Structure 1
């Protein structure tokens, strides 16, 4: 594993372009001033200390940088008062002191600005993903095929059909090209419904229950407005959805927003499904706050975890961020969606305002709770590709890829919240997920890094226009080429088992290994049982390798021997191991 990691690192190094290097003093919040040399390539900022033992190393992909500020001026006289402050998207802040002579600061500032913020120069090809020539044994772009995923769900069938009305993104430019809709709704019906839904994001199928045939649908808010407009086509379409699963129950609509926010949206032309217009539907508000509230919550969380954690007021400080409270509300909403589909045997429709933030959180988490396939490594990749990437979560806007405007109101940690919710579930059900914590952290690291094309741009339409799948590599190429690194050793496959996590504050916890991982004093110790299990797996792999070598040696000595067709790995797998 370590050898593979070293090879991977050198593979990446060969594909980067060296830009500059300078002597600096890294103002480490944990160890004090650290003399070192900083190297900048078109992918990363890399610092290595020159006097410390053990060596201090910083490794920061340029895509992670949110803000670069000059510290001090020509008249600055204090020690280490002249340099650069760098704010990162992954909970870090970095400060480098430089000498005033030699234009060291100017050189670093200009290089970092050019490659960390290519939007500033309107040269998006400066994203490292577009020049990354790494080689992987797996092609991650092949992971998700929408038709294959719908077939896995048993679609199309006599009640649901695949439509290509959005093949060229003419109906909705933030939706995927392939959609699943009720069999009894024509493409003309869909066009009429689109006119009454925000951004033309009509109700479409995300998932169908294999037994109850109840479905999870997603869309955006109806354009009701202050005057309480109605649309007969939209009302009829929701009735068709309700009837499609053969149950007589009402269609359940989950509006992710707080009630007061949904009412306020009427003033800007939006709104919600009123009882008079939709008598065969029941509406529930889930009280999940908007992107601005979530952004402020994460900002407060960062303030209490980096660089230092205040022990004496830790619990009250954590509570004041409301971060875990928001996680609780998202999980609670997803549990309601999943339970209504499974136990209530009722089809549900999920939306927020535009249907690409809170909606994606709720549908994907509910699907994760109901469908064990999504709890495998491949299945989770499919889930992210489908519910987040293809359905137009605005990754470029929410993360701010290559954009210098760190105060942009569009930025928000919506996808981070989703991954946090997944981690909370994995803590409560430690054997239910094929992937481990490192898998989730790797996804978040490359959400920002711009090393892969997976999370670039806001929609499938824009990614196709920029030929992202042709010109860049997929994050899943990296993951699937070294799956053992991301595999949960305790995974126990259980088909069709629904998981309902406990979404109470007593059972939720802060994800220390992600949010506080940069603090060497607080980093959690690895699980000793898991560590021992991994050691035994490595030992097993070593025995398999030795057996294969012995078999090759024996076969070469006896050319005419009729060697057993059983491979060493098969031989080992036939022996029951109790670890």
Structure 2
């Protein structure tokens, strides 16, 4: 049983055979352990609690896992993708995008890498403010850059639910992304959630108070279409046109 699969650990009353521990897993599996000595049972209980709810990244099971491989073979997996080389291949850094250490030690967003490229005009204050406005603190960060025409694709999460429909720093972040795209006078802000779910939010919860952005608050150069499953092909064609220009210039 993986430590991360443990939901609850319960110490039960001591019996004649020993001290029972009841372990409930997130996959509905139940495991009952009977440990003869109460002190040993308590030690196991404390250890399982610590392993199931780590307080530091270093305490995660992946860092203590010891596969039957030598050190060189184990380290090869970390070398499959070199993020610095990928950015360099795309022509970064340049006059528009810079490497930011704002997420050093994962202190802003724990699901983003520590190496992130952001527009040069985006300050740390703007980035942190934008992250507080979005789910899981996933602020807009560069994912792909096409150096031939300076087109870029940035990713982020949806705005947080609540009654704060505007965030000055988030709007400044979007403006900074637009300025980092000199080949275009506007950018597209694309919501890829299913249309049914978005429509339900609008009708039932009177969005933008539930993870929606009020499009009226966006500056003119920012447009916010919705990509839907039934329109995947034309949307992909439009995206390629934005990145690579007319169809005749598309390259694999």
Fold in common (TM above 0.5): yes
1:214 corresponding residue in structure 2 = 151
Give the counterpart of 1:277 among 214, 218, 243: 218
TM-score (norm 1): 0.29
CA distance in 1, matches of 2:150, 2:214: 24
Instruction: For residue 188 of structure 1, report the CA deviation from its aligned partner.
Output: 1.1
Q: How do residues 150-299 of structure 1 correspond to structure 2 at under 5 angstroms?
A: 150-223=87-160, 225=162, 227=163, 229-265=165-201, 267=205, 269-272=210-213, 274-288=215-229
C-alpha distance after superposition, 1:157-183 (max 9, x if no partner): 111110011011111111111110000
SS at match of 1:194: helix
CA distance in 1, matches of 2:67, 2:237: 42
Instruction: For residue 270 of structure 1, report the CA deviation from its aligned partner.
Output: 0.7
Instruction: For residue 224 of structure 1, report the CA deviation from its aligned partner.
Output: 6.4
Q: How do residues 452-531 of structure 1 correspond to structure 2 at under 5 angstroms?
A: 498-499=251-252
Larger relative contact order, structure 1 or 2 (CA cutoff 8 Å, min sep 6):
1
1:149 corresponding residue in structure 2 = 86
Instruction: For residue 332 of structure 1, report the CA deviation from its aligned partner.
Output: 5.6
SS at match of 2:111: coil
Instruction: For residue 271 of structure 1, report the CA deviation from its aligned partner.
Output: 1.2
CA distance in 2, matches of 1:173, 1:159: 25
The 1:191/1:265 distance shift into structure 2, 3 A limit, reads: farther
CA contact (8 A) 1:222 1:273 kept: no
Give aligned pairs, total. 192
The 1:223/1:137 distance shift into structure 2, 3 A limit, reads: closer
SS at match of 2:211: coil
Instruction: Say whether 1:337 aligns with 2:239.
Output: yes
The 1:185/1:126 distance shift into structure 2, 3 A limit, reads: closer
SS at match of 1:208: strand
Unpaired runs of 5+ residues, structure 1, are 1-41, 43-117, 289-324, 345-495, 500-579
The 1:276/1:259 distance shift into structure 2, 3 A limit, reads: farther
SS at match of 1:215: strand
Instruction: For residue 279 of structure 1, report the CA deviation from its aligned partner.
Output: 2.3
Structure whose alpha-carbon radius of gyration is higher: 1
Instruction: For residue 247 of structure 1, report the CA deviation from its aligned partner.
Output: 3.0
The 1:132/1:339 distance shift into structure 2, 3 A limit, reads: farther
C-alpha distance after superposition, 1:255-307 (max 9, x if no partner): 1123342344564731135143332211221124xxxxxxxxxxxxxxxxxxx
CA contact (8 A) 1:201 1:219 kept: yes
1:8 corresponding residue in structure 2 = none
Instruction: For residue 185 of structure 1, report the CA deviation from its aligned partner.
Output: 1.0
CA distance in 1, matches of 2:66, 2:238: 41
C-alpha distance after superposition, 1:93-145 (max 9, x if no partner): xxxxxxxxxxxxxxxxxxxxxxxxx9xx9598599x64232775992321222
